[in-house]
Amino acid sequence: MRLTTLQAAVAEHVRDGDTVALEGFTHLIPFAAGHEIIRQGRRDLALVRMTPDLIYDQMIGMGCARSLTFSWGGNPGVGSLHRFRDAVENGWPNPLVVDERSHADVANAYVAGASNLPFAILRSYGGCDLPRYNERIRFITCPFTGERLAATPAIRPDVTVIHAQRADKRGNVLLWGIVGVQKEAALAAKRVIVTVEEVVDSLDAPPNACVLPGWTLSAVCEVPRGAWPSYAHGYYDRSNSFYKEWDGIARDRSTFVAWMKQHVLHS
């Protein structure tokens, strides 16, 4: 691990064609890192994220993605992700291969990845149409009970990117609040970039806190407000108004591109 800039971390660790997971369940979404990936013009990425949210709407709309593994593709509390829909419905700016699963599936698939297993098993999907359209979701028979259970391939990202509240100077990272699937997504990946609100002398974390030791990470970058317009518990609130505004910005291709140029590419 090394403490570095976000620009250097993305340049070194995120490569064209990579399987990339940016995680954060409504909370601690790594927006600043996603924007840096867009600015550095990464292409052909296999994106993975339970809830694509606005950050993947932006990355898909800017042509970073060849595929998307996900489980819920909406704008939370608002409605559609228009860039995601345009890619699926019309292939703009390029076609997007969709690997669609349920929340329990993706969560379990990260656990399998972090556990160095080839697949996860779960009691879901009976009678559901997802396995009919996604050949990666299959069924197995339990060797002990004979029960039929769903099996789903492990997720092993080339690089996982998360945002957290704090790191210490040795690069140990602490996150709290809604911690989502970040620990599993980090430990399932070959390389891990973490952006944090602040670097402090000591984490002062209680023994059972959600801590990722620095030696499990590739790069740690101090990026205050790096999760905005999502939120960082204890630092700032979610900008619900921006999530609503995004609906208008992203609905139209040209407004979207103009917004991205002004606020991401040239900022």
Partner 1 sequence: MSYTANDIMTVTAARRLRDEAVCFVGIGLPSTAANLARLTHAPNINLIYESGTIGTRPSVLPLSIGDGELATTAETVVSTPEIFRYWLQGGRVDVGFLGAAQIDRYANINTTVIGSYASPKTRLPGAGGAPDIAALAKEVFIIIRQSRRAFVEKLDFITSAGHLEGGDSRKRAGLPGKGPTAVITDLCVLEPDPVSRELTVTSIHPGVDRAQIDAATGWRVRYAEQVATTPIPADATLQVLRDLIERTAKAHGGTTNAE
Q: Is 177 in the site for partner 1 (CB under 8 A)?
A: yes
In whole angstroms, give the CA distance from residue 76 to residue 50: 13
108 binds partner 1 (CB under 8 A): yes
**59-78 per-residue burial string, b: 16 or more CB within 10 A, e: under 16:** bbbbbbbbbbbbbebebeee
The least CB distance from residue 4 to partner 1, in Å, is 27
Subset of 139-168 contacting partner 1 (CB under 8 A): 147-148
Rg (CA), the chain: 18
Of residues 31 and 243, the one with the C-beta less far from partner 1: 243
- Residues 15, 232: Cα–Cα separation, whole Å: 27
Give me 191's structure tokens: 């390389």
Minimum distance of partner 1 from residue 40's CB (angstroms) = 28
Of 4 and 71, the one with the shorter C-beta distance to partner 1 is 71
Nearest CB to partner 1, comparing residues 202 and 208: 208
Q: Which of 104, 187, 205, 264 binds partner 1 (CB under 8 A)?
A: 104
Question: Binding of partner 1 at residue 13 (CB under 8 A)?
Answer: no
C-alpha 93/C-alpha 58 separation (Å) is: 11
The footprint of partner 1 on residues 65-84 (CB under 8 A) is 70-74, 76-77, 80-81, 84
Direct distance between the N- and C-terminal alpha carbons of the chain, in angstroms, rounded to an integer: 27
One residue of 169, 170, 190, 244 binding partner 1 per CB under 8 A: 244
Give phi and psi for 235, each to the nearest 5: -120, -55
Residue 54 to residues 5, 89, 125, 178, 267: CA-CA distances in angstroms? 23, 18, 27, 18, 18
The answer to whether 237 contacts partner 1 (rule: CB under 8 A) is yes
- Binding positions for partner 1, rule: CB under 8 A: 25-27, 50-51, 70-74, 76-77, 80-81, 84-85, 88-89, 100-105, 107-108, 110-111, 122-130, 133, 147-148, 177-181, 183-184, 210, 231, 233, 237-238, 240-241, 243-244
